[in-house]
Amino acid sequence: MEALNQFAPFLLIFVVFYFFMIRPQIKKQKQEKKFINELKKGDKIVTKSGMHGKIVEINDKDSSCVIETMAGKIKFDRSAISMEISHKLNAPATAKK
């Protein structure tokens, strides 16, 4: 019983660490994977480096896509597309008073 009492704080720390650090990270990774797999031609996106553009071509073989920007067309890896910023870009504008 005494051994259990010694390990209880470590067990509690691990449980808290799991629910506040590991689990949300796994959930975010699943959301990003789903977002990347659902990309289609015509989607307006923003890369993680901040480049804005529209998808004109998707290549499933090498997991890349061609993005049309004001400077021309550029090929990017799908993992370079930012989920959060792209969602903000495509969110409907809120009504102004």
- Tell me the pLDDT tens digit for each residue of 9-47: 899 999 998 889 999 999 999 999 999 999 999 999 999
Question: In CATH, what is the architecture of 40-97?
Answer: Roll (2.30)
- Residue ranges per structural domain of the chain: 1-38, 40-97
Residue 94 has pLDDT above 60, yes or no: no
What does the pLDDT read at residue 93? 56
- Indicate the SS3 state at residue 65: strand
Task: Specify the amino acid at residue 44.
Answer: K
Helix residue spans in 18-96 (DSSP H) = 23-37, 83-90
- Residue-wise pLDDT tens digits, 64-85: 999 999 989 999 999 999 888 8
0.75 surpassed by pTM: no
Q: CA torsion 84→87→93→94, rounded to 10°?
A: -60
